[in-house]
Structure 1
Amino acid sequence: MAHPQEDTLIARQITPTPVRLLVLDVLQHHPAALSLADVELLLGYADRITVHRTLKIFTEKGLVHRIEDGSGAVKFALCEPGCTPEHHQDFHVHFFCTRCRETSCLSTVAVPVIALPGAYQVQETSLVMKGLCENCASAG
């Protein structure tokens, strides 16, 4: 009987390997988006290149999306169910907390559609808001 995480990878045409299963587990059980360094730290010992390749494959196959939150490190979070390798459907706001430095997907807050003039063609839209997350704001 297959493990649910194996099924998740197979559904995205990703060959399950021990490292890929571990990276998926880390992403599924962490509430905030994670950088490559975060994933490595949470895994303990892991080959940086292997983890990097795993995150790249996950992105290419529509399993995770990249977030550039201005912190200097690209972060990764699981995609919404409708994402495909050809087109990510993660049109939601990302929130970067200036105190705890975590980035959260606010999947219930949609990125507004902005009409551009002339022949401009949007290929990617990203909206990162910055401030204090719920935990930091309530801590005072």
Structure 2
Amino acid sequence: MADTTSDILKDNNLRVTSCRRDVLATFMGKKVALSHADLEEALKENFDRVTIYRTLKTFLESDLIHKVLDDSGITKYALCVHDSSEHHHDHEHVHFKCEECGNTSCIQEINLPKISLPEGYIAKEKSLLVMGICKNCSQ
């Protein structure tokens, strides 16, 4: 993965803007899933909610972030980890929500099991949420 936000944007064929750089830097700094409201709070002095929303939409379409669903009912987003050998990657991994701090994070090391659906059903997306105490809160 590239070292700077500008490099990451360029590597993904995205125009470099201050909002895109700042949203990306926020994801990289927090290392947990963030909601639109989280980003709006962190960046409210520089960007309005619509600009942040459009940036999230662009990042989703470009596969820079993916949606994370947890028990809050609020859509959160997490930075995608790309394999350097290929652009596309798998979003089907475990997400963990800490009951202490409330943070939701991706656990890339654990892939979801294969699920065989009955005839006539078509899977579009799978997710698995594990809840408990994260390694930071358990120490």
TM-score (norm: length of structure 2):
0.86
Q: Deviations over 1:92-114 (max 9, x none)?
A: 10011122110011111111111
8 Å contact from structure 2 (residues 82, 89) kept in 1: no
Cα separation, 2, equivalents of 1:51 and 1:44: 9
2:48 corresponds to: 47
Given residue 67 of structure 1, which amino acid in structure 2 is its aligned partner? Answer: V
8 Å contact from structure 1 (residues 91, 125) kept in 2: yes
2:101 corresponds to: 100
1:6 corresponds to: 6
2:33 corresponds to: 33
Verify: 1:70 aligned to 2:71, yes or no.
Answer: yes
- The alpha carbon displacement at 1:44 in A equals 4.1
Cα separation, 2, equivalents of 1:21 and 1:40: 14
Verify: 1:123 aligned to 2:124, yes or no.
Answer: yes
Unpaired runs of 5+ residues, structure 1, are: none
Unpaired runs of 5+ residues, structure 2, are: none
Cα separation, 2, equivalents of 1:49 and 1:39: 12
Given residue 125 of structure 1, which amino acid in structure 2 is its aligned partner? Answer: K
Q: CA RMSD in A?
A: 1.9
2:62 corresponds to: 61
SS in structure 2 of the partner of residue 93 of structure 1: strand
- The alpha carbon displacement at 1:120 in A equals 1.9
Cα separation, 1, equivalents of 2:114 and 2:123: 10
SS in structure 1 of the partner of residue 32 of structure 2: coil
TM-score (norm: length of structure 1):
0.86
Deviating 4+ runs (over 3 angstroms): none
- The alpha carbon displacement at 1:72 in A equals 2.3
Cα separation, 1, equivalents of 2:127 and 2:82: 18
Identify the range of structure 1 (115-124 vs 102-111) with the bigger mean alpha-carbon deviation: 115-124
Cα separation, 1, equivalents of 2:4 and 2:71: 34
Given residue 20 of structure 1, which amino acid in structure 2 is its aligned partner? Answer: R
Given residue 59 of structure 2, which amino acid in structure 1 is its aligned partner? Answer: F
Cα separation, 2, equivalents of 1:75 and 1:57: 15
Q: Deviations over 1:27-62 (max 9, x none)?
A: 111121111111122224220110011011100110
Alignment coverage as a number of residue pairs: 134
